Structure formats: structure tokens, C-alpha cells
Amino acid sequence: MSNAAPATEGQDRSDGPLHVAIIMDGNGRWAAARGLPRAEGHRRGVEALRRVVRAVSELGILHLTIFSFSSENWSRPATEIGDLFGLLRRFIRNDLATLHRDGVRVRVIGERAGLEPDICALLNEAEELTRGNTRLNLIVAFNYGSRQEIANAAQRLAREVAEGRRDPSSIDADALGQYLDAPDIPDPDLIIRTSGEQRLSNFLMWQAAYSELVFVPTHWPDFDKATLEGAIAEYARRERRFGGLAAKTGS
């Protein structure tokens, strides 16, 4: 990653996305197709994540959001959840120094209440160490669900009204948006889902209002820079209207 050009240097951003979000799907199916345990699929998925973070930085994309663990994933078998958390621990311990060296800022969105203390500590460490980095924002959606995110924002607004600090008539889309988990991050231009499934699965539903959605058949462990470039090429072919009659230029 250290050889990648800075995101703002020498890059033509006129037809490329500034923010890409990815639903990393298909680890289990990748493993099953090869007669391997699901844990091996998740392990290879981490390798794919390393490749994609490097590729995103090389392509000059400024924001990458990944759906790493949804609030619905708790329904999976306890052994699989343990494997996923073990991979998170190893990823942060093994890769955080490299991410920091390469100018990646790590942001974590989602619920932290109820997580194991060591997981919370690792997430906090990743955010604090990389807070000053500017080449790439890596937003990790962990224990995240979009409906809960929106409900939390509504609760905060309702509390302000109940306390007399806000007039209900002042609540609009911008006001609610300011209480989402990362209000300073622009909405994703492009959302990619791997493994052929064609749904958002409670991921960034508010932020995805005008995102281009690209669904690729590739299982996540096989996702690479070429697959990413193919999705970006599809994005570039789309005419983005944002609800109007004429497409806007740029991202």
C-alpha cells in the first residue's frame, strides 16, 4: 500500500466515485464450493479486504465503507461468531500498523454496547491511532444495522424536542442526517455487493438514497482490483440524475 499515489494527486475524479461501500458477501459459499470449513472462507475474506484497501488507495478513492458484521449476524452459530471476532482481533493487531503507515484513517460505525471489552478496546485503538490520517477513510460497519442507526438518530431528535431544545418543525432530512453514525462522511457514490445477491440487507439505507448499486457474482474471497475496476466501470456508464432531469457532473 505504501507505493500508492496520494488520493488527491494526479487523479481524474470526474467520472469516478469518491466513496465506495461494499457488502462483503459469499465467504461461506466460497468455502462450501471447495469443501472447506466456513472459517477458511472468512480467513480468505480478510485477505480480500487487504487487497481491496490497497486497490482503493491506488485508485484514488477517498472513502471505503465495508460491512464487516451486521447486527443480524448474532443469529449465526456461536462458533462462527467466535471465528469472526477472532479474525477481527488478528486483523487489527496484524494490519493496523500498516494501515497507519499508509495514511488510512479507520472509522467504526455501529453499536458498541454489549461487545466484549477487548473488542471495544481494539476498535478504539484503531480509531485513535489513525485519527490524523488523510489518504483514505476506511469506515468499518461493525455490529451495524441501518434501521437501528436511523432509530437512534430519531431518538436523539425526540429527546431534544422533549427537553425543549428543538422545535419539531426544525426536523428535516438534514437534521436527522447529522445524527447518523458518520455525518461528516459523504454518502456513497457506489455500493457493491458480492456473491450475486441483490439487496442492501439493512446497510446504509439512508445514505444509499442516490447511490449506484452494482451486484457482482464474485464471492468475496475472490474479489480483487480487477473486479473493483469492473464495478467502477459500470458506475461510470451510469447517468446519475439525483431525481432531476439532467445528470449531474462529477461525484
Residues 209-243 pLDDT 10s = 999 999 999 999 999 999 999 999 999 998 776 66
Cβ-based neighbours of 6, under 8 Å, separated by 6 or more: 103, 135
* Calculated CA dihedral for residues 190, 194, 200, 203, nearest 10 degrees: -80
Annotated catalytic residue within 3, 27, 73, 189: 73
Q: What is the pLDDT along the chain (251 residues), one digit of tens a residue?
A: 333 333 333 344 457 899 999 999 999 999 999 999 988 998 999 999 999 999 999 999 999 999 987 767 777 778 878 877 877 888 888 899 999 999 999 999 999 888 889 889 999 999 999 999 999 999 999 999 999 999 999 999 999 999 999 999 999 999 999 999 999 999 999 999 999 999 999 999 999 999 999 999 999 999 999 999 999 999 999 877 666 655 555 44
Residues 70-79 pLDDT 10s = 767 777 778 8
Residue for grid cell 482481533: 89
Contact (CB, 8 A) for 99 and 67: no
The x, y and z cell numbers of residue 108, run together, are 467504526
How far is the C-alpha of 244 from the C-alpha of 176, rounded, in Å? 23
| 95 Cα distance to chain centroid | 17
Q: Which of 247, 238, 246 is nearest to 16 (CA)?
A: 238
The per-residue b/e assignment along 138-165, b for 16 or more CB within 10 angstroms, e otherwise, is bbbbbbbbbeebbeebeeebeebeeeee
**Is residue 27 among the annotated active site residues?**
no
- Containing H/E element for 197? none
Phi, psi values for residue 20, rounded to 5°:
-115, 135
**pLDDT for 241:** 67
* Calculated CA dihedral for residues 39, 44, 45, 50, nearest 10 degrees: 140
Q: Which amino acid is at 171?
A: I
Annotated catalytic residue within 3, 12, 15, 25: 25
**pLDDT for 12:** 42
Beta pairing, strands 104-109 & 19-23? unpaired
**pLDDT for 242:** 63
How far is the C-alpha of 233 from the C-alpha of 82, rounded, in Å? 37
The x, y and z cell numbers of residue 124, run together, are 478504539
Query: Of all residues in the chain, what percent carry a pLDDT higher than 90?
Result: 71
Domains in the chain with CATH codes: 19-144+182-236 (3.40.1180.10)
**Is residue 73 among the annotated active site residues?**
yes
- pTM for the whole structure: 0.87
